[in-house]
Structure 1
Amino acid sequence: MSSFRQFVWDPVLLVSQMTCLQTFFYATQTSVMLFCSFFGYEPLISSIFSIQTQRSMALIQLVSAVGVSFALSHLVQRAKQCLDFACTVHFFHLIFTTIYNHALPTQFTWWILQVISTTVCTVLGEYLCMRIESQEIKLEGGPSRYDL
C-alpha cells in the first residue's frame, strides 16, 4: 500500500541533517557571542560547553534554539520529526559538554535550560514546518494569489 510521503530509511540523509543542525546550533551560538562582544561580553569557547548556567549564555542558547527551529523547517521539512531532531541536537550537546568538562552537568538550572531550549526549538520548528506543509501547491508556473 503506497501512501503520501512514504518513509524511506536513508542513513546518509539523517547523518547529514544532524551534522548540519548541530553545526548550525554551535555556529549560531558563536555568532551571537561575537555580536555580544561589541557590547562588552567576552566570548569564550568554554562558555558554550559550561556546566554552570550563566544568564548571558542562557539567552544565547535560547536564541540559537530559535535559529535551529528555522533550520529544521528548511532541512527536515516535517513537523513530525522536529521533536526527534531537537532532542538529538540537545543530546549531542549534553555529550559534548560532558566530554569537554569530564563531568556530567549536575546543576539543576542547566537541565531546566536544556528542557526549555528543546521545547522552544521543537514548538517553533513544528509551527514553521506546518506553515510550509500547509502552503498551496502550485499547479501552474504563475504566481499564486495566496503567496505570503
Structure 2
Amino acid sequence: MSSFRQFVWDPTLLISQMICLQSIFYFVQTILLISFGFVGYQPFLSTIFALQAQRLMAVIQLISTIGVSFGLAKIVQRAKQCLDFACTAHVFHLILVILYNQSFPTQFTWWILQIISVTICTVLGEYLCMRFETQEIKLEGGPSRYDL
C-alpha cells in the first residue's frame, strides 16, 4: 500500500532536526543578548538559563521562539509535527535549566513564559509550514539551454 507521504522512522534525521532547532533557539538568544550588550545590558549565560522570568529575558525568549518557528518551517516542513518539535525543544530547555541551576524552576511566571513560548512556536510554525505546503508547484521551468 503506497501513500503520498509515507512516514519512515529515521532516528538520525529526528535527532539532527532537534539539534538544529535547539541550536537556533540558543543562537538567536545569544545574538540578542550580545546586541543588548551594546546598549548597556551586561549579557551573562545565566540569564538564558535563569529560574526567574525577567522582562528582558522573556522578550528575548519570545523572539527566539519566532526564530525556531521559521526553523520548523524550513527544517521539519510538516505542520503536523510542529507541536512535537516545539514541546521537545522546550523540554530540552527545561532539562538544561535544571542541570545549569541544579534546581527545579518553581516560579509561576517562568512556567507561563514557557507555555506562551510553546504556543507561539507551534502556531506560527504550523502557519508557516502550511504556507510553504500550499505554494504553487512550478511545472514550467525557465528557458532550457537546449532551446534554440
Q: Shorter-chain TM-score: what band?
A: over 0.9
Structure 2 equivalent of residue 87 of structure 1: 87
SS of alignment partner, residue 59 of structure 1: helix
Once the two structures are TM-superposed, the CA of residue 97 in structure 1 deviates from its matched residue by 0.1
Listed one character per residue, the Cα deviations across residues 63-92 of structure 1 (whole Å, up to 9, x for unaligned) are 000000001100000000000000000000
Paired residue type of 1:23: S
Q: How many residues align?
A: 143
**1:54 equivalent in alignment to 2:54:** yes
Structure 2 equivalent of residue 17 of structure 1: 17
Listed one character per residue, the Cα deviations across residues 22-60 of structure 1 (whole Å, up to 9, x for unaligned) are 011000000011111111111100000000110000000
Structure 2 equivalent of residue 101 of structure 1: 101
For residues 77 and 41 of structure 1, what CA distance do their matches in structure 2 show? 36
Structure 2 equivalent of residue 67 of structure 1: 67
Q: What is the percent sequence identity of the aligned residues?
A: 69
Alignment gaps of 5+ in structure 2: 144-148
Structure whose alpha-carbon radius of gyration is higher = 2
For residues 142 and 64 of structure 1, what CA distance do their matches in structure 2 show? 37
Alignment gaps of 5+ in structure 1: 144-148
Q: TM-score, normalized by length of structure 2? A: 0.94
For residues 91 and 141 of structure 2, what CA distance do their matches in structure 1 show? 43
Q: CA RMSD in A?
A: 1.0
Once the two structures are TM-superposed, the CA of residue 133 in structure 1 deviates from its matched residue by 0.2
Once the two structures are TM-superposed, the CA of residue 142 in structure 1 deviates from its matched residue by 3.4
Q: TM-score, normalized by length of structure 1? A: 0.94
Paired residue type of 2:12: V
